[in-house]
Amino acid sequence: MNVGKKDEDSGDAGLFYHIDKSTVLQDARAFNEAPINPRKCRLILTKIVFLLYQSETFQTKEATETFFSITKLFQSQDTPLRQMVYLLIKELSGIAEDVIMVTQSLMRDMNAKSDVIYRANAIRALARITDSSMLQAIERFIKQTIVDKSPAVSSAALVSSLHLFNANKEVVRRWANEVQEAVNSKGSITQYHALGLMYQIRQHDRMAVIKLVQNYSKGSLRSPLAYCMLIRYACKIMEDEDPGSRSLYDLLEGWLRHKHDMVVYEAARAICNLRDVTMKELFPAVAALQLMLVNHKPTLRFAAIRTLNNLALSHPVAVFPCNLDMENLITDPNRSVATFAITTLLKTGNEASVDRLMKQITGFMNEISDEFKVIVIEAIRSLCLKFPAKQSLMLNFLSNVLRDEGGYEYKRAIVEAIFDIVHHIPESKEFALSHLCEFIEDCEFNKLAVRILHLLGTEGPKTPKASKYIRYIYNRVILENATVRAAAVTALARFAVNLPEMRDRVKILLKRCLDDNEDEVRDRAIMYLRIIESDELCRKYVANDTSYSWASLERNLVHYLNNEPAHAQPFDISSTPVVTKEQENAEKSRAIAEVTELASPAVRGAPGGGSAGAGAGASSHSGGAASSSGDAQARYAAAIEKLPELSNLGPLFKSSAPVALTESETEYVVTAIKHVFAEHVVFQFDCRNTLNDSVLEKLDIILKPTDEEEVAELTHQLSVPIPKLAYDAPGTAYVVYQRLNGACPTATFASSLQFFVKDCDPATGEVDEGEGYEDEYQIEDLELVVADYVLPTYVPDFKRAWEDAGEATEVVETYQLTNVANIKAATVNLLAVLGMFPAEGSDSVADKATTHALLMGGVYVGGAKVLSRCRMVIGGDGVTVEVAVRCKDEEVARRMVDAVC
C-alpha cells in the first residue's frame, strides 16, 4: 500500500479515518511475533496514536495490555520504531497501570554509549512515567544528561526537569549547578531551556533573579530565545517595583541594539508595555520599531505595526513620528499589515488627514477578514469621538459597511460604534438613528435588532422629528419574530410615555398588538396600554431612570429565601441600593484590574428536596450580576459567607470604603473595612507581610475602645484570626461585635496586631523549626461613625420625596464649618460625614460659588429612609451650613444631624 497516495474518490479526511479501536487492538498482537516486522509495527503504533488524538477512550485494562505488548518492541533495534514506542509510552502513561516497569529499559537507552538519536526520546518518556517518590532514584542520571555534550539530549533533560519541578521542587533545586553549566553551554536551544529552569529554581528570591538577569545580560548567551526570556524576567522585576522605579531600564535599552531582530523587537515591546512609561523612555523603542516598518520581512513589519497600534491607544504623540512610514504600509501586499497601519494612523493622525484616510479604508474593507474589520471599526469609533466635526463622514462610512455582508461580531462592532457616537455627539443623533432604522429593515440578527429598538425607544422621543421613527418600529411588529416584536412594543410605549401629543396614535398601534399570536407580545401591549392611561404609572414604571443594584438585590433575596422565619414578613427591598442607569452602565463597563473569584450565592433546598433552591441557584449563577458589575459589597459578602463562623449573620447591609491603618512602606500593611449587618458590626482587616525572612502565625486583631461608655451597646462576640501569613501573601482577619437591641453607636478603637513570628528562608520560604516568639504591632485607630450605618441611595425626584416626608419629623441645625475653605470642600466633607448619595447632581459645585444646596438620600440600617438638605453660604470664618434631615424615625434624623458637628 502506498501511504503517500491520496484516494481522490473516497473523500475521506485521512488514511486512518475509518479505523476501529477493537480492530487496531487485535492487530497489536503483531508485537508478539518473531521476528518483529518494524514497518508493520510502526503502522499499528501510528493507528493507536491517531485513536488517542481523536479522543478515543481507552479503558485502563485495554491501555495496560497495549502498554505491555508495546514494551516487547524494545527487542528491535530499528530507530524509527523505537521512537514510536517512546511516543506511545508517554501517551499511555496516564491511563495504563504499572508503567514504572519500563524504567530500566528507558534508563538503559538514555545512557546508551553510542550517539543514537532516541536518547532524548527516552529521557522525555522516563520523565512522564516518573512520580515524585521515584525522582531521587533517577536523579543522578538526569543530572548527567543535563550536562551532556549533545544539545538534543541536554535540552530534553532540561525540559523534563521543568515538568518534574512541579512534582518535587526540592529535588530539582539541587540540580542548580548542572543547570548553571548548561546555561553556559554552546547550544542555543540548551541555553534557552536551562535559563527557564534556572528562573523556576530562583523565582522566589528577588535578588537572585536580578543577579541572574544582570549576569547574563553582558553578552555571554548565544541564543536569541534566551535573551527574549531575560527581557521578560527584567520586565517582571520592574512590575514589582515602586511606580517610577526603572532599575533595569538601561538593560532593555541596550538590547534595542542587539544583532538579532527577535531580541530587538522583544525589548521594544517590553518598553512600550512598561507601567507609567514616559515619552523619553519610549523614544528609543519607537525608533527601533520604526526601522522594522521598512524591513523586507513581513513578520517584522506586522509585529512592529501591531505594537505601535497598541501604543497609540495610550501614547499617540509618541507614535506620530512613524506616520510617514505607516502611510507607505497602507498599500502593503499583506492586508493584515495594511489594516494595522491605517488604524494606527487613525489614532495618531490629525483632523486634516481624516478624509484621505477614510477613502483609503473604503478601498480594502472587502479584502480583509471580519477580525480585522472589527479593528478598523474600533479605530473609526475612537477617531469620531476625537474629531466630532467629522461625525457625518464617519456615520456615512459605518452605514455603508453595515449593509455589507458580515458576521455577528462585525455587525455588533458597527452598531456599538454608532451607539457611542449617538451618546457622545448629540448633534449626530438624528442622522445616526435614521441609519439604524434602515438597518433593522433587513437585520438578520435578533440581538442587534432588539438593542436598536431599545435605543430608538430611549433616544427617539428626544429628537425634533420623533414621529418618523414610529413607522420603522411598527414595521418590526408586523414583519419580525416574537422576540423583536416584543421589543418593538416596548419602544412604541416609550414614545407614548414621553410624547403625550402622540399618545392616542400609539394607543391604536398597541391595540393592534392585542391580537398577536405570541403571549409575550400581547402581555406587553396590555401592560403598556394600562400604564399610559395614568401619568403616575408612566412616571413610575417607564420614565423612571433608576435601577436596583442587581448584585445587592440578588444577595438579599437569597438570604431572605434561606431564612425561613423571615418568610412571615414580605421581602423588604428598601435595603437594596438604588442607582441611576448611568451608574449601572458605568459599573458594568468598568475594567477590572484584578480577576476576583466570586461564588454566586446558592439557595438551600426545601426540606422535601424540592427544586426551588436549585432553580434559584441556577438563576443566580447565570445572572452573574455580582461578578459582571464588580460590586465590592457583593464580593465582601461572598467572602464572609464562606466562613462558617460568620455565615449566620444574615444579609450584609453596608460595607465601608477601605481604610488604611498603616503606611504602604511598613513591614506589615493593614487595611480595614467595616461591615454592618442587621444586628452585628464586622471589622475586616486585610493584612500583608512585606518581610521575606519571617512568617506570622495565629495573627489576631485586638480592638480596645478608647471610651468604654461609647461601646456599652456593643458586645465583642468573636474573632477570626489568620492562621498563617507568609511573605507577600494576603490574609484576612475578622472581629465581630453584636449591636444590642439594634443600637448604632459610634466609637474609636485602638488597634494592634498580635501574632507569633517564625523565621524562614527568604529563597525558599521554608519555615524554621521551633515555636517562634510572640509579638505585637500597633496600628492606627479605627473609627466607627454614623456614615457606616447609612446606605447611599439615589432619589429620582428629590423635591417630591422631600414634600412627602413632611415637616413633622424634620430636624434642623446650623453649624459653622471652620475647617473648610470653600463650599466645594464643605460639600465633599458633608458627603463623607453623612454617607449619603447626592441627588439631582447637587454634588457639582462651581469653583467660586458663595451659596449652594446639597441634596442627599439614603437608607439607615433598619430600613428608615433618610433625606437631607444642606444649605451652605460663605460667611464668617469658613462655611455656614444649615443641615435639615427628614425621616419617619425622629431619633435617626437627630443622629444624622448631630453627626455633622
Convert the pLDDT of each residue in 759-785 to its tens digit: 888 777 778 877 788 899 999 999 999
> Average pLDDT for residues 192-218, to the nearest whole number?
87
b/e code 513-545 from CB counts within 10 Å (16+ = b): beebeeeebbebbebbbebbeeeebbeeebeee
Instruction: Answer whether 340's CB lies under 8 Å from 302's CB.
Output: yes
Q: Are strands 652-655 and 668-677 parallel, antiparallel or unpaired?
A: antiparallel
State the burial class of residue 366 (Cβ atoms within 10 Å of its Cβ: 0-12, 13-18, 19+).
Answer: exposed
Average pLDDT, the chain: 83
pLDDT score for 106: 81
Lowest mean pLDDT among 28-37, 156-165, 345-354, 608-617: 608-617
Region of residue 333 (left: phi > 0; alpha: psi -120 to 50; beta: else): alpha
> Average pLDDT for residues 98-106, to the nearest whole number?
79
Residue 720 DSSP SS3: strand
Instruction: Answer whether 829's CB lies under 8 Å from 817's CB.
Output: yes
Q: What are the start-end ranges of the E strands in 524-568?
A: 546-548
pLDDT score for 299: 93
pLDDT score for 610: 38
pLDDT score for 306: 93
> For residues 470 and 623, what is the distance between their CA atoms, to the nearest angstrom?
32
| Distance set, CA 65 to CA 57, 88, 98, 99 (Å) | 14, 13, 11, 11
b/e code 187-208 from CB counts within 10 Å (16+ = b): bebbbbbbbbbbbbbbebbbeb
Convert the pLDDT of each residue in 710-765 to its tens digit: 778 888 889 999 998 888 888 999 999 998 888 888 889 999 999 989 888 877 77
> For residues 894 and 898, what is the distance between their CA atoms, to the nearest angstrom?
6
State the burial class of residue 855 (Cβ atoms within 10 Å of its Cβ: 0-12, 13-18, 19+).
Answer: buried
Reported as a pLDDT band with limits 50, 70 and 90, residue 133 is confident
Q: What share of the chain is helix, strand, coil (3-state, %, to 5)?
A: 55, 15, 30
Reported as a pLDDT band with limits 50, 70 and 90, residue 613 is very low
Could you tell me what percent of the chain has a pLDDT over 70? 91
Reported as a pLDDT band with limits 50, 70 and 90, residue 451 is very high
> Average pLDDT for residues 836-858, to the nearest whole number?
86
> Average pLDDT for residues 257-266, to the nearest whole number?
92
pLDDT score for 623: 33
Instruction: Answer whether 812's CB lies under 8 Å from 897's CB.
Output: yes
pLDDT at residue 624 is higher than 50: no
DSSP of 355-392, one letter per residue? HHHHHHHHHHGGGS-HHHHHHHHHHHHHHHHH-GGGHH
State the burial class of residue 255 (Cβ atoms within 10 Å of its Cβ: 0-12, 13-18, 19+).
Answer: buried
Residues in the chain, how many? 901
**Identity of residue 891:** E
Instruction: Answer whether 154's CB lies under 8 Å from 189's CB.
Output: no
Reported as a pLDDT band with limits 50, 70 and 90, residue 485 is very high
Q: Which of 824, 803, 819, 790 is nearest to 884 (CA)?
A: 803
Residue 817 DSSP SS3: strand
pLDDT score for 244: 61
Contacts of 94 by beta carbon, 8 Å cutoff, 6+ apart? none
pLDDT score for 33: 84
pLDDT at residue 617 is higher than 90: no
Bond into 35 cis (ω within 30): yes
Instruction: Answer whether 510's CB lies under 8 Å from 489's CB.
Output: yes
Q: Which residue has the cell 444646596?
A: 853
Instruction: Answer whether 430's CB lies under 8 Å from 463's CB.
Output: yes
Convert the pLDDT of each residue in 513-556 to its tens digit: 998 899 999 999 999 999 998 887 887 778 766 777 777 788 77
Q: Which of 403, 427, 425 is nearest to 415 (CA)?
A: 403
> For residues 670 and 684, what is the distance between their CA atoms, to the nearest angstrom?
10
Q: Using alpha carbons only, what angle is made at residue 186 by residues 180 and 187, rounded to the nearest 5 degrees?
A: 95
Q: Which residue has the cell 538503559?
A: 108
Task: Determine the longest span between alpha carbons in the chain, in angstroms.
Answer: 110
pLDDT at residue 247 is higher than 70: yes
Reported as a pLDDT band with limits 50, 70 and 90, residue 5 is very low
pLDDT at residue 383 is higher than 70: yes
pLDDT score for 116: 66
Instruction: Answer whether 502's CB lies under 8 Å from 466's CB.
Output: yes
Reported as a pLDDT band with limits 50, 70 and 90, residue 629 is very low
> For residues 29 and 704, what is the distance between their CA atoms, to the nearest angstrom?
79
> For residues 739 and 677, what is the distance between their CA atoms, to the nearest angstrom?
9
Grid cell, residue 661, equals: 491603618
Reported as a pLDDT band with limits 50, 70 and 90, residue 581 is low
Q: Which residues are registered as beta bridge partners of 853?
A: 871
Q: In what order do the strands lie in the sheet with 722-725?
A: 722-725, 694-705, 747-759, 773-784
Contacts of 50 by beta carbon, 8 Å cutoff, 6+ apart? 16, 19
pLDDT at residue 4 is higher than 80: no
> For residues 137 and 362, what is the distance between their CA atoms, to the nearest angstrom?
67
Convert the pLDDT of each residue in 276-307 to its tens digit: 888 888 999 999 999 999 999 999 999 999 99
> Average pLDDT for residues 816-844, to the nearest whole number?
87
Reported as a pLDDT band with limits 50, 70 and 90, residue 585 is low
**How many C-beta atoms lie closer than 10 Å to residue 580's C-beta?**
14
pLDDT score for 386: 79
> For residues 721 and 700, what is the distance between their CA atoms, to the nearest angstrom?
5
Q: What does the CA dihedral 567, 573, 577, 581 come to, rounded to 10 degrees?
A: 130
